Each structure stands twice: as structure tokens, then as C-alpha cells.
Amino acid sequence: MNNQYCRVGAVKSITSGNQAVAVLEYRYQNFLEKASSIANIDTRLADFFESKAKNIKKTLEELI
């Protein structure tokens, strides 16, 4: 039996251009939705999602 190597946690870089902007916009909206849906249940987790969205927004502003 041959060894099989799994790339758990492997990170794929986002290519530049329109594809990168589209992916970042999707992630930004996703984190905002998660933050708003969990705000009443767990405020610390909502703050975490908001901070992730803020970082993505900052990156988007640098690209555009």
C-alpha cells in the first residue's frame, strides 16, 4: 500500500484582478451575514466576524 499525503490546511493564493475582487467581496458579505445572524447569541463571535470583514474590506480598498 502506498503512502498518501493529505494537504490539510493548504492555502491557495487568490489570483489578482477581477477574480480576487469577486472572491473578497463574497467573503466580506459572508462574514457580515454571519456577524449579524449571531449577534444576539454570541457577541464575541460576532465581533470576530466583524473584524474579519473589516480586514477584508481594507484589502478590497487597497485593490480598487
Quick: pLDDT tens for 9-61: 666 666 667 788 888 999 999 999 999 999 899 999 999 999 999 999 999 89
Q: Is the pLDDT of residue 64 over 60?
A: yes
Contacts of 54 (CB under 8 A, 6+ apart): none
pTM of the model: 0.73
- In this prediction, residue 15 carries a pLDDT of 64
**At residue 1, what is the residue type?**
M
47 close to 33: Cβ distance less than 8 angstroms: no
- In this prediction, residue 19 carries a pLDDT of 82
